[in-house]
Structure 1
Amino acid sequence: MNKIMSDKKVIALYVLPALTLILVLIYIPIFLTGYYGLMDWDGIGKMTFIGLENYKNLITDRLFWNSAYHSLLLAIFSVLSLIIYLAISVVLAGKIKGADLFRKIYLIPMLLSSVAIAQLWMRIYHPSNGVMNRFLTSIGIENPPLWLADTNIVLYAIFIPILWQYAGFYILIYYAALKNIPNELVEAAQIDGATPLQIAYKIKLPLISGVIKVTIVLAVIGSLKYFDLIYVMTDGGPNGASEVMASYMYKLAFRTNDFGYGSAIGFFLLVLILITTYFIRKLTSSKEDEVQY
């Protein structure tokens, strides 16, 4: 067996299917996206090479930069929400009654499709029959807001279901990391008189710092390319107030048939995600090797 596995031809044969899938599903589409971004193309007819003209238009496109700003806001809110998820995970990882039940409840949004979640929250935000406005009316607010029709609040109204949708995912990651910390370390700190808050801040968080860094990257990348819930709930409206980069790219490519410009935005988004990931890793890197669990 060792002789067979030391044969480079056999190793290449085992690796080839995975490399083929990666090439077909990832690298070739990336190359084609960059190629189409250099073209004037409606997706069906003849392509015309225009060089960097699409990227020049992108720089001066006010609608695109508005959508980029909305994506940036979502990324900021997503990273800040990690603090809440981490706090919940610390509590659930402790010896409290009902921890298993709460953990299962937090996982429920992960089991629902984005369309189902969008439909649920559209009914919650309904101006007359929604739970939100019925509650506000019951406490004396006569003119509750039109959550998905007010350009000033629609973006933040959508952020709530988005963050709710992924709460279980991040809580599960943090919970697993916290439960993997040896009990001996926590017990030693308790013997030394450390409070639960000190144990969480001085012991648990440093030991799972690597996991926290990964979730920050996931939250930022996911926010920059987010699309589905916003598309179903508002379609980027009203008047572009909830438009994000991915939804704007979709509209250009599949509604106005400007595949060249849409591909340019898609390629720009890819480069932006790579650069953002690089800087996040640099900012969160440590000169000293840390013990991770």
Structure 2
Amino acid sequence: MKNVMSNKFAIALYVLPSLLLILVLIYIPIVLTGYYGLMDWDGIGQMKFIGLENYIHLLKDKMFWSSTYHSILLALFSTISLIAYLIISIILASKIKGANLLRKIYLIPMLLSSVAIAQLWLKIFDPTNGMLNKLLEMFGVENTPLWLADPKLVLFAIFIPIVWQYAGFYIIIYYAALKNVPEEIIEAAKIDGANSAQIAYKIKLPLISGVIKVTIVLAIVGSLKYFDLIYVMTGGGPNGSSEVIASLMYREAFKSYNFGYGSAIGFALLVICLVMTWVIRKLTVSKEDVQF
């Protein structure tokens, strides 16, 4: 084994397949997306080079900025929901009765496809026979909302199933991190007179801060490129009030056959995700991280 690890050719030979996969599946498509953004192309016929025209149009496109705003709102909402996930995880990790059953219940949405979840919530939001409006009617609400048809409500209505869909994913991450906190530290804090809230805030949270930072990046970047559930539930409507960057990209490339402009939107989405990741890392860096 030592001979292999000291042989640079052998190391390169082992690493080469992974590098080729990364190159073919990630970096080449990124370069091609940026290249197609320089073209006037319907995705089938002859490509025509138009330089930065698509990217200039992108900066002037009100629909692009509107969809970017919606994506940022979704990212903000998803980040705030991490607080609820963290609280639930702390409760589940506190050896309460039924914790195992609750963990399994929270994981159920992860077992369903986004299309199935979208169809389920379409039934719940149905204005005439939906469960949500029926409950409101039981409490005396006469003019029940048109959840997915009202431009002022549709975006926030869609946020609810998205948060529900990913609850189990983040809860299980936080739960696993909390379970790795040394029991000796918690016992020492209890002996010193710390209550449950103090233990959670001053001991558990600092010890899993690295995991929290990772989930913030996952939540924000995942929200910025979110597509499937929104597309199934509203298709970006009504009148673009639930359009996000990914759905706009799909509509331009595969419905309007403006593949060049769609590629420009896709490349812009990549840049936005990279910038947001860099900003989050800069904002969440700590002295301990730097010293480490």
So what's the TM-score if we normalise by structure 2? 0.98
Is 1:233 matched up with 2:218? no
- Matching residue's letter, 1:208: I
Contact kept, 8 Å, 1:207 with 1:290, in 2: the verdict is no
Q: What residue ranges of structure 1 are gaps of 5+ in the alignment? A: none
Per the TM alignment, residue 289 of structure 1 is displaced from its structure 2 partner at its CA by 4.0
Which stretch has the larger CA shift, 10-19 or 275-284?
A: 10-19
What SS does the aligned partner of 1:83 have? helix
Report how far residue 6 of structure 1 moved: 2.3
Q: For residues 28-57 of structure 1, give each alpha carbon's deviation from its aligned partner in whole angstroms, at most 9, with x where no partner exists.
A: 000000000111111111111111111110
Aligned to 2:142: 142
Question: Residue deviations 1:69-124, cap 9 Å, x none?
Answer: 00000000000000000000000000210001101100000010000000000001
- Residue aligning to 1:155: 155
Q: Secondary structure at the match of 2:287?
A: coil
Aligned partners of 1:43, 1:128: CA distance in 2, in Å? 41
Identify the residue that residue 35 of structure 1 maps to in structure 2: 35
SS at match of 1:166: helix
When the two structures are superposed, what TM-score results if normalisation uses the length of structure 1? 0.98
Q: C-alpha displacement at 1:9, in angstroms?
A: 1.9
Q: 4+ runs of 1 displaced by more than 2 Å?
A: 288-292
The amino acid that maps onto 1:45 is: G
**Rounded Cα–Cα distance in structure 2 between residues aligned with 1:211 and 1:170:** 10
Aligned counterparts, 1:189-268, within 5 A? 189-268=189-268
Paired residue for 1:119?
119
For the residue of structure 1 that corresponds to 2:186, the secondary structure is helix
Instruction: Give the 5 Å matches for 1:91-102.
Output: 91-102=91-102
Partners in 2 of 1:10 and 1:79 — Cα distance? 44
User: Counterparts of 2:46 and 2:126 in 1: how far apart (Å)?
Assistant: 45
Identity of aligned residues (%): 72
The 3 A distance-change label for structure 1 pair 291 and 147 is farther
1:109-167 Cα deviation digits (max 9, x unpaired): 00100000000000011111111011111111112101111111000000000011000
Give the letter for the 2:129 counterpart: N
What's the RMSD between the two structures over aligned residues?
Answer: 1.3
